Amino acid sequence: MATILVVDDDSVIRELLAAVLEEESDHSVIVAANGQEALDRLIEHDIDAIVCDVNMPVMDGIELVRTVRANPDTEVLPVLMISAAVPASALEPTLGVDLMLEKPFEINALLACVAFILDRVRASTRTVQVIRRRAAESVGRLVATPTHRSALKPTSL
């Protein structure tokens, strides 16, 4: 079981992501409404991974990731970015995002992406940049053989 920091300014999406991660994968979830709140949560809690939106007020997801990567205490935290407005191709490769999931997405894809970034860290094979094609193939394999018990029908977020 891991502790996931979910960062999204939309309270409905934030709570839905938290519920899915807690109920479907037994992870503990901490939530924040923007990047600045996320930084506060990182100080307060022992976080294993971050799932964060790109566009948010106060501090957006890109600035959050830059700040996380610049801090020696958090630089290796795996980050899954989610966005409806920013395509994966628009992210700078040097930003250090481990995986990008474009909204709308299937719940199983979210769970597979979180499992993927956590497993890469546990196996000490984390890389700063995951080539999108290779990551998609790995996530596809995880979705094809899920390790969680899904009580929900596949739906999109």
Q: What is the pLDDT of residues 31-80, one digit of tens each?
A: 999 999 999 999 999 999 999 998 999 999 999 999 999 999 999 999 99
Q: Evaluate whether residue 118 is within a structural domain.
A: yes
Q: Evaluate whether residue 53 is within a structural domain.
A: yes
16-30, 34-48, 60-74, 124-138: which has the minimum mean pLDDT? Answer: 124-138
Q: Evaluate whether residue 7 is within a structural domain.
A: yes
Mean pLDDT of 130-140: 45
Q: Evaluate whether residue 149 is within a structural domain.
A: no
CATH number at residue 83: 3.40.50.2300
Mean pLDDT of the chain: 79
Q: Is 26 left (phi over 0), alpha (psi -120 to 50) or beta?
A: left
Residue 140 has pLDDT above 80, yes or no: no
pTM: 0.76
The count of structural domains within the chain is: 1
β-pair partners for 52: 7, 81
Q: Is 46 left (phi over 0), alpha (psi -120 to 50) or beta?
A: beta
What 3-state class would DSSP assign to 39? Answer: helix
Query: With contact defined as beta carbons under 8 Å apart, do 30 and 36 qualify?
Result: no
Residue 130 has pLDDT above 60, yes or no: no
What is the tens place of the pLDDT at every residue in 93-110? 668 888 888 888 889 999
Residue 142 has pLDDT above 50, yes or no: no
Q: Evaluate whether residue 66 is within a structural domain.
A: yes
The residue count for the chain: 157
Amino acid in the structure at residue 138: S
Range of the domain at 121: 3-144
Residue 113 has pLDDT above 70, yes or no: yes
Other beta carbons within 10 angstroms of residue 75's beta carbon come to: 11
Enter the DSSP assignment of 103: S
Q: What Å distances lie between residue 70 and 30, 43, 46, 141, CA to CA?
A: 22, 15, 18, 32
Q: Which residue has the higher pLDDT, 81 or 136?
A: 81
Share of the chain above pLDDT 90, in %: 55
Residues 93 and 141: their CA atoms lie apart, in Å, by 24
Q: Evaluate whether residue 113 is within a structural domain.
A: yes
Q: Evaluate whether residue 156 is within a structural domain.
A: no
47: its two tokens: 């976080």
